[in-house]
Structure 1
Amino acid sequence: MANKSLFASIVGKLVPATNARNHEGAPAYELTPKAALAQLAVTGTFNGTFYADARTQLTDVLALAAEVEPEYLAKVAVYAAESGYMKDMPATLLALLSTLPGDAFSRAFPAIVKNGKMLRTFVQVMRSGAIGRKSLGSRPKRLVEAWLETASDVSIMRSSVGNDPSLADVIRMVHPKPATESRRALYAYLIGKPYDVAALPAVAAEFEAFKRDPSGSVPNVPFQMLTSLDLSPRQQMEIARQSGWQMLRQNLNTFERQRLFADEGFTTWLASRLRDEEAVRKARVFPYQIMATYSALAKGVPAEIREALQDAMEIALRNVPDFAGRVVVCPDVSGSMASPVTGYRQGATTKVRCIDVAALVAAAVLRKNQRARVLPFEQTVVNVALNPRDTVLTNAAKLAAIGGGGTNCSAPLARLNGEKAAVDLVIFVSDNESWVDQSATRGTAMMAEWQMLKRRNPSAKLVAIDIQPYRTSQVTDGADILNIGGFSDRVFEVIAEFVSGAGPDRFVKRIEAVDL
């Protein structure tokens, strides 16, 4: 019989030494600058999280950006916008790029600034002083002006909704030179200057006509521009039919208050639209956004609409792979995971918590891999019975209801080691702020438990998804370990590539492969 204490001490010596402390002051591994920046870019929200406030996050981003070349910084910004579906972060990285030499800024700008909202966010960051300046500068000004000149009249009108700055403010800043009388009239109309009524583009002329006589057809403008008008149910339904998928999702309770669901035809149309596969993909919706909507539905919203949202969730998670072998998913349900996933924002804090996203990942993997084990953990593993045939939303709700306790990332691995379980893939979803299991060895307890598991399962792989923007992890990247920052449905693609043989730096390589 082997001497267990001797064996444990040998394993401890083989574990890589930690080189950092997490926010709980416990030992951890610091990510490389490229990996840390990628993680912050995909998960950072510049709002207060459980451990880090907005200023800390911004300071970390600026420090890490100084350690990478502008080309990589540009690719991170594009990736955050296109694959991470972020808004503030890519605009901030783009603003930072504008201060650096080279053409990376000019090449990244059109890939990031694709609509008026992102344009206004970019201008806001530039003028805020966050990157060390409070003006646009000549190069950014030229690109902003070019965006205005190439945008369609409809895009300009749709972009006019919003403030701080408004699109009118942006127009006043850059003084675009209109190429046509129509565009000249539109600019003047938006900034409150005299304009040629006859030259006004059709979309603006129709809106003004509708304001004078709202009995006609509803113009193709954002619904926010129409909310102050006295509209009939027919007109409200017409607005809905012209709206994008995300607007429909966000206003289901509004439709209920407006009693639009009394019209069976509208209800059937809306349900069909919500579960339309192409519309869901085009909307670039985060799965947790669907979860938030479903959880907040008013009692009067019909079952047909609720079922359509569940179908939309299945579509949003359709690329969850069917992993071969024995899969274990470990969602962190500790107390810190109760914080809002996008941080605390005064007056606009999301109801979706980190624990909701962790539960969603676990439920999604279980849905596609029905023999997978789910081991929720806090200080210890929490036992919960899940039915893999239940919907993703149903199982996610069961997991999210557990919540509480300290964080012990090594607990699920210790459970597997105690069982001498055969394992091929372990997926963690956590904020990585483990502290209950502080190890007396040179490495983390999670890393020590993983090495013990690997002695029985040499081909096993570990994926650690960090859904909060911190710079440390409880495990260090290796041929069998992958750290991932953030969560969207693209995360599953990265995991599948890693399982099929891609290297542990696949997340960074995916960003480096971005075409500017």
Structure 2
Amino acid sequence: MANKNLFGSIARKLLPKPDALNEANSPAYALAPKHALAQYVATGCFNSTFYASAEEQLSTVLALCGEVDNEFIARTAIFSREQGRMKDAPALLCAVLACRDTKLLEAVFPRVIDNAKMVRNFVQIIRSGVTGRKSLGSAPKRMVLRWLEARSEEVLFNASVGQSPSLGDVIKMVHPKPAAAGREALYAYLIGRSSHATALPDFVRDYEAFKAGQTRKLPKVPLAMLTALPLGKSDWIEIARNAPWQATRMNLNTFARHGVFGDEKVRSDAQIEIAKIVAERLRDRAAIAKARAFPYQLMVAYANADTRVPGVVKEAIQDAMEIALENVPSIAGKVYVLPDVSGSMHSPVTGNRGSATTSVRCVDVAALVAAAILRKNTDAEVIPFNERVVPVELNPRDSVMSNAAKLAALPQGGTNCSAPLAHLNERGAKGEMIVYVSDNESWLDAPRAMARGTATMVEWNRFKTRSPDARLVCIDLQPYG
């Protein structure tokens, strides 16, 4: 028989040769600098992940910025903030532009640095010196001043929660020149200087009066400003009645713990009314859009809801999930969704942050994506994998929450990204789209890598011979290039 290595199929010979090692030290394909920067910025939170430390991620992003043009950095900053809803990464890119092109920074600043948290992130990163400078400089200072001037006194006061730096620290750095006595008094208050109480806006004086016990009327301020104060049951009921959408989602158990919803078996008419108000807020379509909620946040709120949280509220969380996932597309043709349930996928999706580490794992998000696609594409096939394909039965009619929980509970193991493709090839399956949801760090199939292709690329090539118009979509959940 002729030598198979010499006379292999032309299709295999056309496969690209692996040109890198992945984070698991196995053959892989390196992303081009622009692609890699976009991937890191869209997925990275600069916390330690399963394969990479926070410091490694930071140095990689800064190195990639050195390989791309300034306009691409600016466009990536906008995309990661407006579409990816990221925080630290777009602020870092703005800090890079502050050193390289202040005109471009001025163009993107209002779209990226769009709230007080982002201002504080931007200032913190600049002052750290990681991008090459430790002071704001005249142009960035001018942009921060414009941001302050464009906000009302009430917005600035409500945004004054948070430290290192605080909004007061930022004010001290940029020295704004207030045009009115009320604004001048507010700036003095925020930086901790004595101010004329009579010149302070009414909402600040109301807050200080409540803190001092001079009144029991609850001030209209963010919940974070109230939680350290001695609040009574009636205060918590009032907070639950008027809380914004995001604060409501995050504090359902807190409300329950403080008696807002009453006992599971005995609830007063007033407590039933509050439960209905909270439920209607959670399923409010406009409020969900305004809050820019991640669907997995709803999944966690549902999974972690205390037994004292009423059923009508839990049902509203499921309704909110369905609304939040309405933009999941219906895909023409046969779709296969391949969620990775391996060991590395059980790490926190936003990295390790000590006591602030999220309980949401990569596998939870992968399961949610798979369940959402199945809900909108009822003939789709979900094929979970670790070192091999993991059998599972899902009902497209079940809620996204139920199917996601079932997938996330599957056994973990090593990572073999080629396994589900090999499974499809053994079946002779055909289709129009294959969707991976993974950290894409395959290593168990490394010995099967060919000189002209990784094991996954070889199996994908086999699938393409049967379905030449098929598309492969790889959804990365972690910042690896």
Tell me which interval the TM-score lies in, with the shorter structure as reference length.
over 0.9
Q: 1:314 aligns with which of 309, 322, 333?
A: 322
1:192 aligns with 2:197: no
Partner of 2:349 in structure 1?
341
Deviation at 1:9, TM superposition (A): 5.1
8 Å CA contact 1:123–1:170 kept in 2: the answer is yes
Deviation at 1:274, TM superposition (A): 0.5
Distance in 1, Cα, partners of 2:437 & 2:217: 49
Distance in 2, Cα, partners of 1:346 & 1:390: 35
RMSD of aligned Cα (Å): 1.8
Deviation at 1:237, TM superposition (A): 2.5
Partner of 2:428 in structure 1?
420
Q: Give ranges in structure 2 of 5+ residues lacking alignment.
A: 263-270
Partner of 1:444 in structure 2?
454
1:430 aligns with 2:452: no
1:394 aligns with 2:402: yes
Secondary structure, aligned partner of 1:352? coil
Q: What amino acid maps onto 2:361 in structure 1?
A: R
Cα gap change, 1:160 to 1:437, in 2 (>3 Å): same
Distance in 1, Cα, partners of 2:93 & 2:28: 27
Partner of 2:478 in structure 1?
468
Q: What amino acid maps onto 2:101 in structure 1?
A: P
Cα gap change, 1:4 to 1:90, in 2 (>3 Å): same
Partner of 1:504 in structure 2?
none
Deviation at 1:97, TM superposition (A): 0.9
Report which stretch shifted further, 169-178 or 203-212: 203-212
Distance in 2, Cα, partners of 1:97 & 1:34: 16
8 Å CA contact 1:44–1:469 kept in 2: the answer is yes
Distance in 2, Cα, partners of 1:297 & 1:8: 57
8 Å CA contact 2:209–2:215 kept in 1: the answer is no
> What do residues 433-473 of structure 1 show as CA deviations (whole Å, max 9, x unaligned)?
111112133211111111111111111111111111011xx
Q: What amino acid maps onto 2:430 in structure 1?
A: A
Partner of 2:268 in structure 1?
none
Partner of 1:510 in structure 2?
none
Q: Give ranges in structure 1 of 5+ residues lacking alignment.
A: 472-516
Moved over 3 A (4+): 2-11, 212-217
Distance in 1, Cα, partners of 2:74 & 2:468: 38
1:355 aligns with 2:367: no
Partner of 2:227 in structure 1?
227
Distance in 2, Cα, partners of 1:228 & 1:320: 40
1:101 aligns with 2:111: no
> What do residues 249-274 of structure 1 show as CA deviations (whole Å, max 9, x unaligned)?
11111001011012111100001100
Distance in 1, Cα, partners of 2:377 & 2:346: 27
- TM-score w.r.t. length of structure 2: 0.94
Partner of 1:58 in structure 2?
58
After TM superposition, list the pairs within 5 Å mapping 1:219-368 onto structure 2. 219-262=219-262, 263-368=271-376
> What do residues 383-435 of structure 1 show as CA deviations (whole Å, max 9, x unaligned)?
11111111111101111111421111111111111111121111111111111
Report which stretch shifted further, 361-370 or 143-152: 143-152
Partner of 1:507 in structure 2?
none
8 Å CA contact 1:367–1:388 kept in 2: the answer is yes
Secondary structure, aligned partner of 1:99? helix
Q: What amino acid maps onto 1:435 in structure 2?
A: W
8 Å CA contact 1:11–1:448 kept in 2: the answer is no
Deviation at 1:213, TM superposition (A): 4.2
Partner of 1:485 in structure 2?
none
8 Å CA contact 2:329–2:376 kept in 1: the answer is yes
Distance in 1, Cα, partners of 2:201 & 2:102: 38
8 Å CA contact 1:206–1:219 kept in 2: the answer is yes
Deviation at 1:136, TM superposition (A): 1.5
Distance in 1, Cα, partners of 2:181 & 2:80: 38
Deviation at 1:196, TM superposition (A): 2.1
8 Å CA contact 1:331–1:375 kept in 2: the answer is yes
- TM-score w.r.t. length of structure 1: 0.88
Partner of 1:404 in structure 2?
412
8 Å CA contact 1:44–1:468 kept in 2: the answer is yes
Q: What amino acid maps onto 1:25 in structure 2?
A: N
Identical amino acids, percent of aligned pairs:
55
> What do residues 168-219 of structure 1 show as CA deviations (whole Å, max 9, x unaligned)?
1111111111111110011111222222222211221221233344644322
> What do residues 55-91 of structure 1 show as CA deviations (whole Å, max 9, x unaligned)?
1100110011111111111111111111111111111
Q: What amino acid maps onto 1:32 in structure 2?
A: A
Deviation at 1:14, TM superposition (A): 2.1
Report which stretch shifted further, 22-31 or 209-218: 209-218
1:456 aligns with 2:466: yes
Q: What amino acid maps onto 1:296 in structure 2?
A: N
8 Å CA contact 2:296–2:365 kept in 1: the answer is yes
8 Å CA contact 1:13–1:441 kept in 2: the answer is no
Deviation at 1:240, TM superposition (A): 2.9
Report which stretch shifted further, 328-337 or 5-14: 5-14
Distance in 2, Cα, partners of 1:229 & 1:60: 43
Partner of 1:482 in structure 2?
none
Deviation at 1:228, TM superposition (A): 3.0
Deviation at 1:125, TM superposition (A): 1.0
Secondary structure, aligned partner of 2:205? helix
8 Å CA contact 2:102–2:139 kept in 1: the answer is no
Q: What amino acid maps onto 1:12 in structure 2?
A: R
Distance in 1, Cα, partners of 2:175 & 2:181: 15
Distance in 2, Cα, partners of 1:221 & 1:440: 61
Secondary structure, aligned partner of 2:469? coil
Partner of 1:218 in structure 2?
218
1:74 aligns with 2:74: yes
8 Å CA contact 1:116–1:155 kept in 2: the answer is no
Cα gap change, 1:7 to 1:241, in 2 (>3 Å): farther
Q: RCO higher in 1 or 2 (8 Å CA, sep ≥ 6)?
A: 1
Secondary structure, aligned partner of 1:427? strand
Distance in 2, Cα, partners of 1:204 & 1:7: 80
Partner of 1:147 in structure 2?
147
8 Å CA contact 1:115–1:155 kept in 2: the answer is no
Secondary structure, aligned partner of 2:472? strand
